[in-house]
Amino acid sequence: MACSLHTEREFQRITAVPLEEKFMAQLDMHSSQLIKVIRAKGGATRQKTSDIMDTLDQTVDINLRRECVLKALTIFMGEDVNDLIKEYLDSGTDDTQRELEQLTMAVFVIRKEGEGLQEPPEDIGIVIDGTEVLHELTSVASACAMLLGLIYALNLAYPKPLRFTFEVLQKVLMQLDQRKMSPKVYNLYGKLQTSQ
């Protein structure tokens, strides 16, 4: 099992960029403009993000706000947030473990039955190829940063169903390899730059 400190160090060795520190700073810096861009989009995106935006509007918890922004960003990029973040109820059975073993790559969140988003989850971690590689992470945003770091450190390809979300995390948030952006990500990047 990897540890988050090792992931941080390896990512910084490869990129010369502090992983979690930069990820959080950039996410916080871009959040208000990202929210404006996402709210401006109508149709299916607005419908799919409405509950997330309601939660965002009702909380002051920074970890929950970051989680909402990352979920809304994934939907905005035309991808399924359930491919990135798998949420489970801790029912005390082995069902969750069996489901985790079927995952290729994801952040998992385990909550106690009856608890909402406002309560801290039982566990937050990362699964790669059916193996839990990190757990007991502090937040979903931290887990997303660590997953990006693990992808870099292990030289893995981004999961195809999330390629645009990870491209935004890499090229917009982490500012790595910005020369080659897909048109979809470049369009978002342009919208974020107009506010600065």
Cα angle: 127, vertex 130, 131; to 5 degrees = 60
Q: What is the mean pLDDT of each run of 10 residues along the chain (196 residues)?
A: 77 88 96 94 92 92 95 97 91 77 92 72 92 93 95 90 96 91 94 74
Claim: this prediction has a pTM higher than 0.85: yes
pLDDT at 193: 84
Widest Cα–Cα separation across the chain: 50
pLDDT at 120: 79
If one counts every other C-beta atom within 10 angstroms of the C-beta of residue 133, the result is 19
CA distance 82 to 71: 9
| Three-state SS at 105 | strand
Beta bridge partners of 138: none
pLDDT at 22: 95
